[in-house]
């Protein structure tokens, strides 16, 4: 019996043994900043971090993430590369050489994989897979993924209990395969992919070698989590199409490859309902809400809240607003568009250009329509989560029109905290469409004219219909928070571990 089988048999014997849960992600749950001569820690506010808070109460959680800043690196040095307990979470940061990290993040993960999966190409011109891309693939993406796997394997080697590893997102597609090589079959490997997984055609742009390595690596997992069933189905199709000897035997959610049965399953991510409701009442939020009320005055509010990100379709959203003002002059002087935008991935040229175009477009609309008392568009750039939550309480219309989006948490946050029976304008290509589509006004992200008409419809919708839709949306969001998102994944992995353990003890 191998050591791992022994461990699994032990598990079966000692019913209730808690596994070690390992999360691996590029961006970690904490950021470190220098203060005087000390390093201070700040907890991030993302959904995953919040979900983990609840998880850490029940399980031992080890989080492996990249050291992103200079201070993160200093923190690693100070702790001699060892796991540290930070606010109840066992944390280990991966310190990749800077040049390799740049290639992994700024050449492969964000401009290439993100663009493929959100289908953002201007196909006659981009992408061009150049010598630089190949170099970045081998020296950056492959190398950083390998390093992640090595650090994870090193961190769990003395666990003496079952281990479940959850690599997160498109940065870490090669981690499952490297982990399998290092740890064998005894650990459960269960990646979750936060962004859309398009069908086989979209993946054509990747060279065969790269495409195959990504798919084969993911097929070294036990289960792969996606935001929607559609993403899971697309993955199964890609595996059938591109991986020789991978079969689905007619299934929409399972791939059989080599000796492995790999499940592709939807676990739609959500928000922390209790925490958000508390935050909506905090003094800082109330203050920012009062400022926003003052700014909007008697106008109706059309709001959007996004990272500055081409897939969010901010430009067509502005175009639609302009078209609405053109076609429905009765809204002049009565409606205010506010876009709260967080700078993101500014090292990537497409993102810099996108911000410039947004500012120019907003400027043109204001130049054309402003009068002494009214400026139709206001863009506020910066990360201010309290301001985002305060503004979400006030919108009459929330515009969520991405070209493609894994889920779009803004849509869920908005409908939960809004107090104006606001209408949600939702793209049919956001993952949230599958849960919230029935009670939102659905827009095609490319159809500027219909988006403008949907804005008009939302602004003129009878109060009773607004109320009915808003209540139905709120109910749906309240029905599934972020804790259940994670617990479903852990439950599935535990079930598989127990099954494996039973088999090991009877063989
Ligand atoms: P993505 O993961 O692609 O950025 P999501 O909508 O799923 O998109 O999640 C974005 C998160 O970032 C949400 O929690 C949202 O409230 C927050 N956020 C987005 N824009 C801002 C902003 N301008 N200020 C503060 N927080 C923001
Ligand atoms: C999306 C991705 C995440 C990523 C986040 C912010 O939500 O799915 O993996 O962390 O955007 O992007 P950044 O590049 O700033 O980490």
For the stretch 317-370, pLDDT in tens is 999 999 999 999 999 999 999 999 999 999 999 999 999 999 999 999 999 999
- What pLDDT shows up at residue 47? 67
Residues whose CB is less than 8 angstroms from the CB of residue 119 and which lie 6 or more positions away in sequence, other chains included: 198, 202, 403, 404
List, chain by chain if needed, residues with CB within 6 Å of any ligand 1 atom. Answer: 305-307, 340-342, 383-385, 388, 407-410, 413
d(CA 255, CA 258): 10
Centre of ligand 2 from the C-alpha of residue 328, in Å: 37
In this predicted structure, the answer to whether residue 235 has a pLDDT above a threshold of 70 is yes
Atom from ligand 1 closest to the CA of residue 271: 14
pLDDT at residue 58, rounded to an integer: 75
Task: Please state the rounded mean pLDDT for residues 452-467.
Answer: 98
- What was the pLDDT predicted at 396? 98
Of these ranges, 88-92, 253-257, 274-278, the one predicted with the greatest mean pLDDT is 253-257
Please tell me the predicted confidence (pLDDT) of residue 11.
45
Q: Whose CA is nearest to atom 10 of ligand 2?
A: 27
Domains in the chain and their CATH numbers? 3-10+17-96+142-270+483-506 (3.40.50.2000), 273-479 (3.40.50.2000)
Q: Is the pLDDT of residue 56 over 90?
A: no
Per-residue pLDDT at 477 exceeds 90: yes
Reply yes or no on whether the pLDDT at 214 is more than 70. yes
Pocket of ligand 2 (CB under 6 A): 27, 169, 194-195, 344-345
| Lowest-confidence region among 5-19, 46-60, 439-453, 483-497 | 5-19
DSSP 455-482: HHHHHT--HHHHHHHHHHHHHHHHTS-H
The rounded Å distance from CA 317 to ligand 2 centre is 22
Query: What's the pTM?
Result: 0.95
At 382 the pLDDT is 94
Q: What percent of the chain has pLDDT over 70?
A: 96
Q: Which residue spans within 1-139 are E strands per DSSP? A: 20-25, 30-35, 38-43, 60-66, 84-86, 89-94
Cα–Cα distance, 43 to 220 (Å, whole number)? 32
Q: What gap in Å lies between CA 71 and CA 429, rounded to an integer?
A: 38
Q: Is the pLDDT of residue 148 over 80?
A: yes
């Amino acid at each position: 019996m191998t050591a791992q089988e022994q461990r699994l048999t032990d598990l079966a014997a000692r019913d209730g043994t808690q596994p070690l849960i390992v999360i691996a992600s590029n961006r970690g749950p904490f950021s470190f900043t220098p203060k005087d001569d000390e390093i201070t820690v700040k907890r991030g506010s993302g959904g995953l971090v919040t979900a983990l808070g609840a998880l850490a109460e029940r399980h031992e959680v080890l989080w492996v993430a990249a050291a992103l800043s200079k201070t993160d690196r200093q923190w690693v040095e100070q702790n001699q590369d060892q796991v540290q307990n930070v606010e109840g979470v066992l944390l280990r940061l991966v310190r990749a050489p800077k040049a390799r990290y740049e290639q992994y993040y700024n050449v492969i993960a964000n401009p290439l994989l993100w663009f493929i999966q959100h289908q953002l190409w201007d196909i006659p011109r981009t992408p061009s897979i150049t010598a630089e891309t190949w170099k970045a693939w081998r020296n950056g993406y492959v190398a950083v993924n390998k390093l992640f796997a090595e650090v994870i394997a090193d961190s769990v080697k003395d666990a003496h209990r079952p281990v479940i590893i959850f690599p997160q997102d498109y940065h870490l597609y090669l981690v499952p395969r490297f982990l399998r090589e290092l740890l064998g079959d005894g650990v459960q490997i269960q990646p979750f992919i936060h962004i859309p997984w398009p069908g086989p055609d979209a993946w054509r742009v990747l060279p065969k070698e790269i495409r195959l390595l990504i798919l084969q690596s993911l097929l070294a997992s036990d289960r792969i989590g996606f935001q929607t069933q559609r993403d899971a189905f697309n993955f199964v199709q890609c595996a059938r199409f591109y991986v020789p000897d991978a079969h689905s035997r007619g299934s929409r959610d399972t791939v059989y490859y080599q000796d492995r049965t790999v499940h592709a399953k939807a676990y739609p991510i959500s928000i922390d309902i209790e925490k958000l409701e508390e935050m909506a009442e905090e003094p800082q939020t109330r203050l920012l809400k009062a400022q926003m009320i003052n700014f909007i005055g008697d106008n109706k509010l059309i709001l959007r809240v996004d990272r500055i990100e081409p897939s969010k379709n901010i430009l067509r959203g502005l175009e639609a607003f302009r078209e609405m003002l053109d076609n429905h002059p009765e809204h002049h002087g009565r409606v205010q568009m506010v876009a709260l935008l967080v700078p993101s991935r500014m090292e990537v040229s497409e993102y810099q250009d996108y911000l410039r175009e947004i500012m120019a477009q907003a400027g043109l609309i204001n130049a054309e329509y402003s009068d002494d008392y009214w400026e139709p568009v206001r863009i506020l750039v910066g990360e201010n989560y309290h301001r985002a939550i305060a503004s979400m309480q006030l919108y009459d219309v929330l515009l969520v029109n991405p070209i493609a989006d894994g889920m779009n948490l803004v849509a869920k946050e908005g409908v939960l905290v809004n107090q104006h029976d606001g209408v949600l304008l939702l793209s049919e290509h956001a993952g949230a469409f599958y849960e919230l589509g029935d009670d939102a006004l659905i827009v095609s992200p490319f159809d500027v004219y219909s988006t403008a008409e949907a804005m008009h419809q939302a602004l003129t919708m009878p109060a009773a219909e607004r109320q009915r839709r808003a209540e139905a949306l709120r109910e749906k969001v309240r029905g599934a928070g972020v804790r259940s998102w994670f617990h479903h994944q852990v439950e599935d992995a535990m079930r598989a571990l127990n099954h494996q353990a039973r088999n090991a003890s009877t063989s």
